[in-house]
Chain A
Amino acid sequence: MNREFTEALKKEFGNTILDEITSRNETYLTVKKEANVKMCDHIYHHLDIPLVSIFATDERKKEGCFKVHYVFSIDKGDAFIIIKINVDEKSPKYNSITHKIAAANWYEREIQDMFGLVPAGHPDPRRLVHFEDWPDGVYPLRKDFDINTKPSRVEGEYVYRRVEGEGVYEIPVGPVHAGVIEPGHFRFSVAGEPIINLEIRHFYTHKGVEKLFENISLDKAVFLAERISGDNSAAHAVAFCQAVERIAGVDIPARAKYIRVVLLELERVYNHLGDIAGIATDVAFAMGAAHANRLKEEILQLNEKVTGSRLLRGMNAIGGVRRDIGDKKDEILLKLSEIQHDFRELIEYLMSIPSLVDRIETTGRIYNDIAKGLHVVGPIARASGIDRDMRRDHPYAAYSEFNFKVPVQKAGDVNARTLVRADEVCESIGLIEQALWSLPEGEIKIDISEIPDGYALGYTEAPRGETLYWVMIKNNMIVRCKVRDPSFCNWLAIEYAVLDNIVPDFPIINKSLSLSYSGNDM
Chain B
Amino acid sequence: MTVEDEVEIMGQRLNDKIKKIFGRSLHIREVDAGSCNACEVEVNALSNPIYDIERFGIYIVASPRHADMLLVTGPVTRNMELALFKTYNATPSPKLVVAMGSCACNGGIFGDTYASGGGVDKYIPVDVYIPGCPPRPQAVIFGIMVALDKLPQKMKKTEVKP
| Residues of A participating in the B interface, judged by any CB pair closer than 8 Å | 131, 140, 145, 147-151, 175-176, 178-183, 203-209, 211-212, 220, 223-224, 227-231, 233, 274, 290, 293-294, 296-297, 300-301, 304, 310-311, 313, 516-519
Q: Which of B30, B43, B109, B115 is the most central at the interface, judged by chain A CB atoms within 10 Å of its CB?
A: B115
Q: Write 28 A-B pairs (CB below 8 A) sorted by A numbering.
A: A148-B112, A151-B114, A175-B80, A178-B63, A182-B40, A183-B80, A204-B79, A205-B34, A206-B78, A207-B34, A207-B77, A207-B113, A208-B116, A211-B115, A212-B109, A212-B111, A220-B109, A227-B108, A229-B37, A230-B36, A230-B37, A230-B39, A231-B37, A293-B48, A297-B48, A313-B133, A518-B36, A519-B37
- Residue from the list A178, A207, A231, A297 in contact with B116, Cβ < 8 A: A207
Q: Which residues of A contact B143 (CB under 8 A)?
A: none
Q: Which residues of A contact B87 (CB under 8 A)?
A: 176
Instruction: Flag if B40 contacts A205 (CB, 8 Å).
Output: no
Instruction: Flag if B109 contacts A223 (CB, 8 Å).
Output: yes
In the bound complex, how far is the Cα of B64 from the Cα of A446, in angstroms? 50
Given A175-B83, A204-B79, A293-B48, answer yes or no on A518-B35 (Cβ-Cβ < 8 Å). yes
Instruction: Considering the complex, give the chain B residue whose CB is closest to the CB of A140.
Output: B114
Instruction: Considering the complex, give the chain B residue whose CB is closest to the CB of A146.
Output: B114
- Residue from the list A212, A229, A293, A294 in contact with B113, Cβ < 8 A: A212
Q: Which residues of A contact B86 (CB under 8 A)?
A: 176
| Residues of B participating in the A interface, judged by any CB pair closer than 8 Å | 3, 30-45, 47-51, 60, 62-64, 74-75, 77-80, 83, 86-87, 108-116, 133-134, 136
In the bound complex, how far is the Cα of B73 from the Cα of A182, in angstroms? 10
Chain B nearest Cβ from A203, distance in angstroms = 6
Instruction: Flag if B80 contacts A182 (CB, 8 Å).
Output: no
Instruction: Considering the complex, give the chain A residue whose CB is closest to the CB of B87.
Output: A176
Given A147-B113, A148-B114, answer yes or no on A296-B48 (Cβ-Cβ < 8 Å). yes
In the bound complex, how far is the Cα of B42 from the Cα of A290, in angstroms? 16
Chain B nearest Cβ from A79, distance in angstroms = 32
Q: Which residues of B contact A207 (CB under 8 A)?
A: 34, 75, 77, 110, 113, 115-116
Instruction: Flag if B113 contacts A148 (CB, 8 Å).
Output: yes
- Residue from the list B44, B50, B133 in contact with A227, Cβ < 8 A: B133
Label chain B's interface by main secondary structure: mixed
Given A147-B113, A208-B110, answer yes or no on A182-B83 (Cβ-Cβ < 8 Å). no
Instruction: Flag if A211 contacts B36 (CB, 8 Å).
Output: no
Given A182-B37, A205-B80, answer yes or no on A150-B48 (Cβ-Cβ < 8 Å). no
Instruction: Flag if B35 contacts A300 (CB, 8 Å).
Output: no
Q: Which residues of B contact A300 (CB under 8 A)?
A: 45
Instruction: Flag if B79 contacts A203 (CB, 8 Å).
Output: yes
Instruction: Flag if B44 contacts A180 (CB, 8 Å).
Output: yes
Q: Which of B37, B41, B47, B87 is the most central at the interface, judged by chain A CB atoms within 10 Å of its CB?
A: B37
Q: Which residues of B contact A294 (CB under 8 A)?
A: 48-50
* Further pairs besides A207-B116, A211-B115, A311-B38: 18, Cβ < 8 Å: A131-B79, A147-B113, A148-B112, A176-B32, A183-B83, A204-B77, A205-B32, A206-B79, A207-B77, A207-B115, A212-B110, A212-B111, A223-B109, A230-B134, A274-B41, A297-B50, A311-B134, A519-B37
Instruction: Flag if B114 contacts A205 (CB, 8 Å).
Output: no
Q: Which residues of A contact B77 (CB under 8 A)?
A: 204-207
Instruction: Flag if B42 contacts A293 (CB, 8 Å).
Output: no
- Residue from the list B33, B37, B41, B62 in contact with A178, Cβ < 8 A: B62
What 10 A-B pairs are tightest by C-beta distance, nearest first? A230-B38, A208-B115, A178-B62, A293-B48, A230-B36, A230-B37, A205-B34, A227-B36, A207-B116, A204-B79
In the bound complex, how far is the Cα of B42 from the Cα of A212, in angstroms? 25
Instruction: Considering the complex, give the chain A residue whose CB is closest to the CB of B29.
Output: A176
Instruction: Considering the complex, give the chain B residue whose CB is closest to the CB of A131.
Output: B79
Q: Which residues of A contact B79 (CB under 8 A)?
A: 131, 203-206
Chain A nearest Cβ from B36, distance in angstroms = 4
In the bound complex, how far is the Cα of B42 from the Cα of A204, in angstroms? 21
In the bound complex, how far is the Cα of B99 from the Cα of A444, in angstroms? 37
In the bound complex, how far is the Cα of B37 from the Cα of A179, in angstroms? 13
In the bound complex, how far is the Cα of B50 from the Cα of A313, in angstroms? 22
Instruction: Flag if A290 contacts B49 (CB, 8 Å).
Output: yes
In the bound complex, how far is the Cα of B46 from the Cα of A296, in angstroms? 12
Instruction: Flag if A180 contacts B36 (CB, 8 Å).
Output: no
Instruction: Considering the complex, give the chain A residue whose CB is closest to the CB of B38.
Output: A230
Chain A nearest Cβ from B108, distance in angstroms = 8
Given A176-B83, A231-B41, A296-B48, answer yes or no on A182-B116 (Cβ-Cβ < 8 Å). no
Q: Which residues of A contact B63 (CB under 8 A)?
A: 178
Instruction: Considering the complex, give the chain A residue whose CB is closest to the CB of B42.
Output: A310
In the bound complex, how far is the Cα of B57 from the Cα of A164, in angstroms? 46
In the bound complex, how far is the Cα of B126 from the Cα of A449, in angstroms? 42
In the bound complex, how far is the Cα of B114 from the Cα of A177, in angstroms? 25
In the bound complex, how far is the Cα of B108 from the Cα of A207, in angstroms? 11
Q: Which of B30, B36, B49 is the most central at the interface, judged by chain A CB atoms within 10 Å of its CB?
A: B36
In the bound complex, how far is the Cα of B41 from the Cα of A140, in angstroms? 30
Chain B nearest Cβ from A204, distance in angstroms = 5
Chain B nearest Cβ from A316, distance in angstroms = 15
Instruction: Considering the complex, give the chain A residue whose CB is closest to the CB of B30.
Output: A180
Q: Which residues of B contact A228 (CB under 8 A)?
A: 36
Instruction: Flag if B83 contacts A204 (CB, 8 Å).
Output: yes
Given A224-B109, A313-B133, answer yes or no on A205-B35 (Cβ-Cβ < 8 Å). yes
Instruction: Considering the complex, give the chain B residue whose CB is closest to the CB of A138.
Output: B114
In the bound complex, how far is the Cα of B110 from the Cα of A61, in angstroms? 27
- Residue from the list B36, B38, B114 in contact with A150, Cβ < 8 A: B114
Instruction: Considering the complex, give the chain B residue whose CB is closest to the CB of A232.
Output: B37
Q: Which residues of A contact B49 (CB under 8 A)?
A: 290, 293-294, 297
